[in-house]
Chain A
Amino acid sequence: MNRSAMVLLAALVLGSGVAHAQTDNQPAQDGTTAQTAPTPEELKDAMDGMGDRVTTLETDVDKLKSLKISGYVQADWQHYDQSSNQGRVVPGYVAPTNANGTNVATFPAKNLFTVRRGRVKIQSKLGDWMNAVIQPDITENGFALKEAYVELAPFSSPVLMITAGSQNRPNYEVEVSSSALEALERSQVTKAFYPNEYDLGLQLSTRYELFDGFDPKLQVGLFNGNGPSPETDSYKDIITRLTFPIPFGSESPVQADLGASFYYGGVPQLGDSVKKTVGETTVNVANDATGSLAGFGNKENFNIEAQIFLDILPIGGTIIKGEFMTGRRPTLNTVATSATVGTRKDSLGKDIVSITPGTSAGNLQIRNQSGFYAYFIQNVASDLQIVARYDMFDRNTDLAGTQVTSAGDAASSVLGVGANYFFGNMRFSVLYEMPTFAANENIQTDPATKKPGDDYRTMDLKDNKTTIRLQYKF
């Protein structure tokens, strides 16, 4: 409360006191005077009392000011290109998922409105050294807790942050706020290696300026490895990430950040074997013979990342960034055990062989996987951003061409182009995504596109996706 408000309050109280005094000083009915006017000492006491009350109020207001509520709402309209509402099920095809996490190839609707994210972030700061955050996500699919952590910063130089609770895993694309993703969603490979983005654990983060313009940042985190879900085993995953700028100098129109990260963890396999690709086939490998496959160590990946920022064009800054990830993951075994084969016509009247694969509910399958994403972002003035992203994910790097016979082993890529328009706290986005997947004669069954002699080629199904998003941050 400022000084003028204090004076006003004091004046009101004193005025009130004087008014009462005047009333009290009116001759009583019996002709006597009830009370005398307040002495200067009494007025001073009243002022002091008011000062104490103002101090109390200020303390309460300061407490309220330490609480910050922010968030954002993303309202989407999505459209999926499909030839039939029944979906065309092609074994091996890994179609993109829609906002509800449903495979669009079998999703019965071609378009939908949805609240993609409804985030409310409640943050409380105690000075500069402690910060607590709770962030739920509220959409038509229900309520989900995303972030809930306590952050401590015991030192300012070198910067040391300790974060405990449900938090983003250390990774570039994971740590970009979902409200700032240029291509609206994270890439396939990031979703595969860092599912749900969040995990429960403890992270230490430090940044130190070794010389002018060179301040590497190191993050080390220990996590349950089970995403936002409760822990189910004693294995913990460790993630380290080192990022640093290339010291071109702050005046340079070219800036670049490089980084590398390593993820090492595991998922226990309770059965006596795990599945693994050996040669061209997937086989059961006994736990006791391959200890590392059975638990800790069956989940690891190594990433390299780069972000290049160019302030060269007169229309605005350019960003080129990407990340390559390679490693192995415990995945569900989805080898087809039997299939239902049928024929039907698509919307153009062409015959399509429709095969519905059966899958075995097998053990965990350890797959060697890799993938990358690459963004090109061109800013135009302050409020327009043009975006193109290409991302690829190979679900089993041990298999290629006709060796791929199951959905879980297929590679797929997505090219997305779009634009973001910013006005105040609003952001209007349009994104058109064109997925393709690596097909072969085992899993490519559309006679309309199959060429004789083809045994491995890229197949383009009618599965493109359009997203229009209106976002408001508060």
Chain B
Amino acid sequence: MYKKAILSIAVLVAAVAIYGFMSLDVITVKGSDTMVILAQRWAETYQSKHPGVQIRVSGGGSGTGISALINGSTDICDASRSMTAAEKNSLKQRFGSPGVEVRAARDGVTIYLNPSNPVKQLSMNQLKGIFTGQITNWNQVGGRAGRIILYGRENSSGTYGFFKEHVLKGQDFASSTQTLPGTSAIVNAVVKDPNGVGYGGFGYSKGIHVCGVSATDGGAVYTPSEETVRNGTYPISRFLYIYLKNRPTGELKNYIDWILSDEGQKVVRQAGYFPIK
């Protein structure tokens, strides 16, 4: 019996050696819709300088990207929220590693208002009240009379999860919230809706009214900027993450190192987010 076992193991080891060192020339990226434009710009810039490398980028939301990382169908997961303990455990049980977390950029979750909306600032408590359905009219927060129309993301979105945890303090979104499939859709909806309000990455805030946010009622009001996000005075600041199954090697490591380099972080600024360093 042991001869058979030794022979079986020898064959397997040989197969492993051949398979494991096969070069990786296609890198797949999946996850956060907030980061999809950033990820595409990273990929285009990197590929232009490394023609032998193919990088395929797709969105779907942070939750979708994390699931893809756990089932092995993507090399890189972009996420606008950190992985949960349960997700890290799933990754560990499957790949023998809890994954590698890379803080790739900074962002301020931005409150989008219609340009005609006179409301210029909201406190965290008011935001919680608005998105949980306790505040339903703009005149309750200093605006003109009009029913507040809520636009939000699907629950596979990392921004949805981050907003729920940090702004709603774990409470559910109001049932009247219209869920849209991406941040662009939210911005488009708010631009067309004078009573609309939505949230998403700062990188999507062109052509929209960015609402100031205060941590407390009557407190100092900040809008997202490199300075306020970096020093944390903007109350809804966050990191944007890249997750990997294992410690990267080969071309994957080169790509991650490049993202964190000055050149990669320059792309972060171009995409409307804030560099990590």
Contacts and interface: CB of A to CB of B under 8 A. Distances in A.
Contacts of B13: 386
A419 to B, nearest CB: 6
B19 A381 contact: yes
Interface string B12-23: 110110011110
Contacts of A432: 4, 8
A2 B178 contact: yes
B239 to A, nearest CB: 14
B246 interface: yes
A94 interface: no
A460 B12 CA distance: 23
Nearest to A157: B170
Interface string B238-277: 0000000111010000000000000000000000000000
A62 B21 CA distance: 47
B191 to A, nearest CB: 11
A59 B9 contact: no
A448 interface: no
B16 to A, nearest CB: 5
B96 A315 contact: no
A380 B19 contact: yes
A320 to B, nearest CB: 9
A379 B178 contact: no
Interface string B189-203: 100110000000000
Contact of A386 (B5, B16, B181): B16
B97 to A, nearest CB: 4
B74 to A, nearest CB: 9
A317 B97 CA distance: 6
Nearest to A308: B96
B145 interface: no
Contacts of A434: 1, 4-5
B97 A382 contact: no
Interface in B147-177: 170, 172, 175-176
B16 A315 contact: yes
Contact of B245 (A315, A382, A417): A382
A15 interface: no
A436 interface: yes
Interface residues of B, number: 42
Interface of A is mostly: mixed
B71 A425 contact: yes
A398 interface: no
A419 B172 CA distance: 44
A231 interface: no
A424 B73 contact: yes
A203 to B, nearest CB: 17
A250 B175 contact: no
B178 A380 contact: no
Nearest to A421: B19
B53 interface: no
Interface string A318-349: 11000000000000000000000000000000
A311 interface: yes
Contacts of A58: 178
Nearest to A432: B8
Nearest to B28: A382
A3 interface: yes
Contacts of A425: 71
Given A316-B96, A417-B9, A434-B5, A2 B181 contact: yes
A253 interface: yes
A176 B93 contact: yes
Nearest to B98: A255
B16 A436 contact: no
A424 B73 CA distance: 6
B20 A380 contact: yes
A359 B65 CA distance: 57
B71 A422 contact: yes
A309 B96 contact: yes
B41 interface: no
B45 to A, nearest CB: 25
Contact of B1 (A255, A319, A380, A464): A464
A446 interface: no
A160 interface: no
A419 B12 contact: yes
B12 A315 contact: no
A274 interface: no
Given A255-B98, A309-B92, A2 B175 contact: no
A176 B12 CA distance: 25
A179 to B, nearest CB: 11
Interface string B96-117: 1110010000000000000000
Contact of A317 (B8, B95, B178): B95
B124 interface: no
Contacts of A127: 172
A460 B97 contact: no
Contacts of B1: 415, 434, 436, 460, 464
A255 B92 contact: yes
B66 to A, nearest CB: 15
Given A250-B101, A311-B247, A381 B71 contact: no
A207 B24 CA distance: 39
A415 B172 CA distance: 50
Contact of A311 (B4, B8, B93, B96): B96
User: Could you say which of A3, A310, A318 has the most chain B C-beta atoms within 10 Å of its C-beta?
Assistant: A3
Interface string B73-98: 10100000000010000001111111
B95 A379 contact: yes
B6 to A, nearest CB: 10
B180 interface: yes
A73 interface: no
Contacts of B85: 207, 215
A43 B160 CA distance: 35
A383 B175 CA distance: 41
Given A415-B5, A417-B9, A318 B96 contact: yes
B87 to A, nearest CB: 13
Contacts of B193: 3
Given A309-B98, A383-B72, A384-B16, A317 B246 contact: yes
A250 B98 contact: yes
Contacts of A436: 1
Interface of B: 1, 4-5, 8-9, 12-13, 15-16, 19-22, 24, 71-73, 75, 85, 92-98, 101, 170, 172, 175-176, 178, 180-181, 185, 189, 192-193, 245-247, 249
Given A3-B178, A436-B1, 7 more contacts: A255-B97, A309-B92, A311-B96, A314-B20, A317-B96, A384-B20, A417-B9
7 contacts: A2-B180, A3-B178, A255-B92, A309-B92, A309-B97, A316-B95, A384-B19
